[in-house]
Each structure stands twice: as structure tokens, then as C-alpha cells.
Amino acid sequence: MAENFTHLDAEGNPAMVDVSGKAVTLRTAVAQCKIDLPEVVANQFSGDDLVTKKGSVIQTAILAGIMAAKQTSTLIPLCHPLGLEDCQVRIDRTAPDVLTISCTARITGKTGVEMEALTGASVAALTIYDMCKAFSHDIVIRDLRLIKKTGGKRDVDKENT
């Protein structure tokens, strides 16, 4: 792990990390979060989806997550603008009152896509909250974390932890 913050220059000012000397490799990241649904919201689901006046909650959240991942550098100041080669958002009902969101981002490049995967998962969750808040504001978004990262200096795999 780095001993210093990577986004600070020698004087301690914010700086974008210089990736010009890094090797181009296939880089993948998987992020995940969970949403706890109060009973009044969970009961609105028919199978694996909930359709509101705004449309399909799950389908809309998937699209929002993909769109957000593609816009990460406009949201997080020191992220490099990336042309993602692949982004997949999956939303599963893992318990009657829990949704699990996974976002996988992929690029062949000089910098990782962890922030894109994390942004995709979090915005998908926020979209579900937005579309379901008419039923209850007791929705809880929790456990946003990086699950897996490949490519670059070191891989990370927390899938089984």
C-alpha cells in the first residue's frame, strides 16, 4: 500500500495521478452494495421487480448505474476520464427485504476502474431509493465496497470475506 496519499503533490495540493508511465493492461473492478427495504416497500415487489408511476425500478436503476459509471470523472474531481469498454449492473433480491447491487466495470488502460464500479453501484442504489421513497423513507443503503479488482500493480479479491 502507498505510504502517502496519491492525490497530493509534493506541496500537499490536490493533484491528478500521473499515469503516463503505467502499462496498459486489462483492468476490471466489481463493487457491491445492499439495500434494506422496509416491509411496505418489499411488499410492493412482484417477483424481482417493482413497477411504479416512474417505471420499472430495477430496469431504471440498472440504466442509472451504467450512466453514472460512465460519468465518474465528472463527479469525482481527480478521477481520470475513462472510456469504459464494459459496464454491467446486476440487481438481485437476495432476501425478501434485501436487494444486492453489483457493478462490474472494465477497460484496457493505464488506470483502474474501481471508482467507476463504486459509482455505478451507489447511483443504482440511490435510484431505487428515489423511486421507492413514496412508500417509505426507511430504506437503508449499506455496505458499499470494492469486491474485486484486477489489473495494475496488485489484484484485490474480497468476494469471500
Say which amino acid occupies 32: Q
CA–CA dist 86, 105 (Å, integer): 6
Cα separation, 126 vs 105, in Å, equals 18
130 is catalytic: yes
Q: What DSSP state is assigned to residue 72? A: H
Annotated active-site residue in 36, 48, 92, 130: 130
Residues in CB range of 95: below 8 A, 6 or more apart? none
Enumerate the β-bridge partners of residue 39: none
For the annotated catalytic residues, the residue numbers are: 130
